[in-house]
Chains A and B, each alone.
Chain A
Amino acid sequence: MEAFTVHTGRAVPLRRSNVDTDQIIPAHWLKKVTRDGYEDGLFEAWRKDPSFVLNQEEYRGATVLVAGPDFGTGSSREHAAWALQNYGFKAVISSRFADIFRGNSLKNGLLTVVLDQDVVERLQALAEADPAAEVTVDLERRQVRATVAGAEQLTADFDLDENARWRLLNGLDDISLTLQNESDIAAYEATRPSFKPRTIAA
Chain B
Amino acid sequence: MGRTLAEKVWDDHVVRRADGEPDLLFIDLHLLHEVTSPQAFDGLRLSDRKVRRLDLTIATEDHNTPTLDIDKPIADPVSRAQLETLRKNCAEFGVRLHPLGDVEQGVVHVVGPQLGLTQPGTTVVCGDSHTSTHGAFGALAFGIGTSQVEHVLATQTLPMARPRTMAVTVEGELPDDVTAKDLILAVIAKIGTGGGQGYIIEYRGSAVEKLSMEARMTICNMSIEAGARAGMIAPDETTFAYLKGRAHAPEGEEWDRAVEYWRTLRTDDDAVFDAEVFIDAADLAPFVTWGTNPGQGAPLSERVPDPASYDDASQRHAAEKALEYMGLTAGQALRDIRVDTVFVGSCTNGRIEDLRSAAAVLEGRKVADGVRMLVVPGSVRVALQAVEEGLDKVFTGSGAEWRHAGCSMCLGMNPDQLAPGERSASTSNRNFEGRQGKGGRTHLVSPQVAAATAVLGHLASPADLSDADRTPAGAR
Minimum C-beta distance from A38 to chain B (A): 11
Q: Do A96 and B254 form a contact, CB below 8 Å, given A17-B315, A181-B24, A197-B248?
A: no
Contacts of A74 in B (CB 8 A): 129, 224-225, 430, 432
**Residue A200 CB within 8 A of the other chain:** yes
| Residues of chain A within 8 A of B198, CB atoms compared | 99
Of the listed stretches A6-14, A22-30, A55-63, A141-149, chain B binds A22-30
CA distance in complex: A188, B123 (Å): 14
A98 partner residues in chain B, CB cutoff 8 A: 194, 197, 227
B39 at the interface (CB under 8 A from A): yes
Number of interface residues of B (CB under 8 A): 85
Q: Mark B134-162, 1 if CB is under 8 A from A, else 0.
A: 00000000011111101100111101010
Q: Give bound CA distance, A26 to B314, whole Å.
A: 23
Residue in B78, B85, B146, B435 whose beta carbon sits within 8 Å of that of A78 in the complex: B146
Which of B28-36, B269-277, B352-360 binds A? B28-36
A51 interfacial contact with B, CB 8 Å: no
User: What residues on B are CB-neighbors of A199 within 8 Å?
Assistant: 29, 54-58, 96, 117, 248
Question: In whole angstroms, what is the CA distance A128 to B352 when docked?
Answer: 53
A131 at the interface (CB under 8 A from B): no
Across the interface, B258 reaches (CB within 8 A) one of A73, A78, A195, namely A195
The answer to whether B254 touches A194, judged by C-beta atoms less than 8 angstroms apart, is yes
B-facing residues in A70-125 (Cβ within 8 Å): 70, 73-78, 81, 96, 98-100, 103-104, 107-108, 117
In the complex, what residues of A have CB within 8 A of residue B411's CB? 22, 27, 75
The answer to whether A185 and B56 have CB atoms under 8 Å apart is no
Query: Is B64 an interface position by the 8 A CB rule?
Result: yes
CA distance A15 to B7 in the complex (A): 38
Q: Is A154 an interface residue, CB under 8 A from the partner? A: no
Q: Which of A173-202 contact B (CB under 8 A)?
A: 174-175, 177-179, 181-182, 184-185, 188-189, 192-202
B426 on the A face (CB < 8 A): no
Inter-subunit contact A45/B430 (CB<8 Å): no
**B148: which A residues are within 8 A, CB to CB?**
103-104, 107
Q: Is B127 interfacial (CB-CB < 8 Å)?
A: yes
Tell me the residues in window 1-57 of chain A with beta carbons closer than 8 Å to chain B beta carbons.
15-18, 20, 22-23, 26-28, 30-35, 45
Inter-chain CB contacts under 8 Å: number: 206
B194 touches A96 (CB 8 A): yes
CB < 8 Å: which of B117, B159, B255, B412 contacts A195?
A: B255
Q: How far is the CA of A184 from the CA of B198 in the complex (A)?
A: 27
A74-B129, A76-B127 known; A45-B433 Cβ under 8 A: yes
Partner of B64, one of A31, A175, A184: A31
Q: Complex Cα distance A200/B53, Å?
A: 10
Q: Mark B1-41, 1 if CB is under 8 A from A, else 0.
A: 00000000000000110001110101011000001101100
Chain A residues with CB under 8 A of B79: 31
Q: A99-B198, A196-B122 are in contact. Are A76 and B20 (CB under 8 A)?
A: no
B321 partner residues in chain A, CB cutoff 8 A:
16
Cβ A18 vs Cβ B15 within 8 A: no
Q: Are A178 and B155 in contact (CB under 8 A)?
A: yes
Q: What separation, in Å, do the CA atoms of A16 and B145 have in the docked complex?
A: 24
| Pairwise interchain contact A185-B156, C-beta atoms closer than 8 A | yes
B155 — nearest CB in chain A belongs to which residue? Answer: A178
Q: How far is the CA of A193 from the CA of B28 in the complex (A)?
A: 11
B145 touches A73 (CB 8 A): no
- CB-defined contacts of B47 to chain A, threshold 8 Å: 175
Residue in B119, B161, B248 whose beta carbon sits within 8 Å of that of A161 in the complex: B161
The answer to whether residues A76 and B147 also contact, given A45-B434, A184-B15, A196-B28 and a CB cut-off of 8 A, is no
Residues of B within 8 A of A163 (CB): 20-22
Closest 4 CB pairs of A and B: A104-B145, A33-B38, A78-B145, A76-B143
- Interface of B with A (CB < 8 Å)? 15-16, 20-22, 24, 26, 28-29, 35-36, 38-39, 42, 47, 49, 52, 54-58, 63-64, 76, 78-79, 81-82, 85, 96, 116-117, 119, 122, 127-129, 143-148, 150-151, 154-157, 159, 161, 163, 193-194, 197-198, 224-225, 227, 229, 248-250, 254-255, 257-258, 261, 293, 295, 314-315, 317-318, 321, 411-413, 430, 432-435, 438
* 13 residue pairs bridging A and B, Cβ less than 8 Å apart: A31-B35, A33-B38, A45-B433, A74-B224, A76-B36, A76-B143, A78-B39, A104-B145, A189-B26, A196-B122, A197-B29, A199-B57, A200-B54
Given A78-B36, A185-B155, 9 extra CB contacts under 8 A = A20-B432, A31-B413, A77-B36, A96-B194, A175-B154, A192-B26, A197-B248, A198-B55, A201-B55
